[in-house]
Structure 1
């Protein structure tokens, strides 16, 4: 039964459930494999790293390895690692950035104090493709700092963006790489607890754009990292997310945007673009609802203001389907980079789910 009458489009199917004995903060597919990583915290506040594989013969998932570390894990990414090495970068509750070889995970390959407190968010770029800049990680912390790290230089960040002296530090909740379409260009998005969204240009070391969405920013993401900026999404605490058209930046008004109210009264924890189709996103609800959206471009993406200056035009977000899978917030989501529509997600009901969005080719 579909209360929203959306069953004619793509479906959201819950394939497998796996109860876990931890609080799950992040889930990530291991590239070019049928395995995924779960990161979180045991009840005693130590860190848990679990590796699972799809067990199709028994119609479920199989725990391959479980490791306990000193501090709880908050976030992870494979984005700065090559497909051959598949090293996992993590941020933890004690402010450490660590890099792990999952074949030999007893000791981290990189272990640096990145922030004075929790590493809230991490992203990686330049690792899985050649010709798109250096392999880098970006971290955002409760201390309000955003730091960029080259995994080949493991002792100090290569770029730091922090509050000006005398300015109150805002908790940085989310970071993301983008605009990495050659060896020179790269940008970082950062979202903060007061609704600020800042775009840092790594080539110039400056703030390229800033905006306030008037609500705490739970996540930020470009639709693609490795292309010239096209659009990006910002999700918020109070039942809404905003999509910015990043193709054209007006000198006074900045990027055009459209804000979408979701059909549930809950925090929007994240919006994750489908790797095979950047116009399709899964939006994560704080009430345990998954919402599949498609972006529709306007007939004309660029217009001129009264002074003849170009400005962008935002499109619209269309809800394709939704499914409630949990009584608790969906805290993480990762699409499989290899199989379209396959995903893994974690929620605060201590359950990890493998989900499949079907019939995406009808969009």
Structure 2
């Protein structure tokens, strides 16, 4: 059963801490786990792939603001020296353009967690950001662009990650297995996925725009769920323990972003955002998909800026989520209890163009990094 209503925004406080223009289109901006350093990846006008690493200065002010729920400017001396800034630490340019990346299959115990990237040639590579001349390992994962990838999270140390591609397949990998196979093939091997979700026989393939990996139900080692969003509006979830699709639906419009409310065990909500400004929240029935999954539909944005690029839950407050749109706005929502609908917490414009990527920091509540189509890297704080 689906319900629908229009969101009625009320004031939400979002502070922009700092921003920096970057000379390439960044498809993703990611927090390096356990730090306030940022990794951005994408492609430049020359058709080359770029990986940059930035550090935030004056992070003490950020920690104080996060704990006090106050804007950074109210938590630190009002001097230019105390204002956090983005400082570029490294830049790597490669022949192939990068489309996706994640640290979520890298353990936090690493001094510098390893970055996974997906590129326009269908390859996945694992990088040591301290030595980026060559990847640690690389292998062909898909026949076409690796549009998206995800892992459970650095908190777990689990090595699995999932990829989605323009070739219409979703594949689950294990970094330990891929290291071994690629090394035996001279760092250019073709690895075999743990699991593969491909179009059914006789059905045309559709571009996969987003994937998510999360716990389901008990939080045990085998309780892993992969979900994918397709260009034609399909949402499809696979139980990786059983190796089969357990839920699928179509929301009529292309799925731009998708995420579980929790990454480890007992995920209760799955949220997807679309090209046409709607957000779809699926109740996972106490962490497990059932035959009758309840769907709630919220109209977030309309008009030329209606594309909802990204959906992200705040790790420390999984009931709170942020959605970014094509007009540079962040829309904040809160999941209600079992009997209530999603509640709007307001919207705020932070950019002039679409925000392609948004990530919350795992350690500082409300701290986010984003990148937009104006080639700007932004760091901000959501105050709840």
* TM-score under structure 2 length normalisation: 0.84
**Alpha-carbon distance in 2 for matches of 1:267, 1:316:** 22
Residue-by-residue CA offset, 1:262-315 (whole Å, 9 max, x unaligned): 14431111110000001101101111111111111233xxxxxxxxxxxxxxx4
- Whether the 8 Å CA contact 1:282–1:291 is kept in 2: the answer is yes
Superposition deviation, residue 250 in structure 1: 7.9
Residue-by-residue CA offset, 1:39-66 (whole Å, 9 max, x unaligned): 1101011100000001234632100001
**Alpha-carbon distance in 1 for matches of 2:133, 2:325:** 35
Higher strand share goes to which structure? 1
Alignment of 1:261 with 2:312, yes or no, is no
- Whether the 8 Å CA contact 1:229–1:247 is kept in 2: the answer is no
- Whether the 8 Å CA contact 1:126–1:136 is kept in 2: the answer is no
Alignment of 1:161 with 2:215, yes or no, is no
Counterpart for residue 114 of structure 2: 87
Counterpart for residue 3 of structure 2: none
2:54 is aligned, of 46, 52, 55, to 52
**Alpha-carbon distance in 1 for matches of 2:344, 2:86:** 30
Give the count of matched residue pairs: 335
Alignment of 1:109 with 2:136, yes or no, is yes
Superposition deviation, residue 127 in structure 1: 4.7
**Alpha-carbon distance in 2 for matches of 1:139, 1:5:** 35
Change (3 A) 1:250 1:52: closer
**Deviating more after overlay: 54-63 vs 288-297:** 54-63
Change (3 A) 1:175 1:250: closer
Larger RCO: 1 or 2 (CA < 8 Å, sep 6+): 2
Counterpart for residue 229 of structure 1: 267
1:13 is aligned, of 12, 15, 18, to 15
Unaligned segments of structure 2, at least 5 residues: 1-7, 59-80, 179-190
1:143 is aligned, of 161, 167, 172, to 167
Counterpart for residue 312 of structure 1: none
- Whether the 8 Å CA contact 2:353–2:373 is kept in 1: the answer is yes
Counterpart for residue 34 of structure 1: 36
Superposition deviation, residue 115 in structure 1: 1.1
Counterpart for residue 285 of structure 1: 325
Counterpart for residue 150 of structure 2: 123
Q: How does 1:195-210 map to 2 (within 5 A)?
A: 195-210=233-248
- CA root-mean-square deviation: 1.7
Residue-by-residue CA offset, 1:91-127 (whole Å, 9 max, x unaligned): 1111111111112222212211111111111001265
Superposition deviation, residue 129 in structure 1: 1.8
Superposition deviation, residue 328 in structure 1: 1.2
- Whether the 8 Å CA contact 1:41–1:48 is kept in 2: the answer is yes
Residue-by-residue CA offset, 1:222-277 (whole Å, 9 max, x unaligned): 0011012311101100011101100256865x310100001443111111000000
Unaligned segments of structure 1, at least 5 residues: 300-314
**Alpha-carbon distance in 2 for matches of 1:83, 1:59:** 24
**Deviating more after overlay: 142-151 vs 178-187:** 178-187
Higher helix share goes to which structure? 2
Alignment of 1:354 with 2:356, yes or no, is no
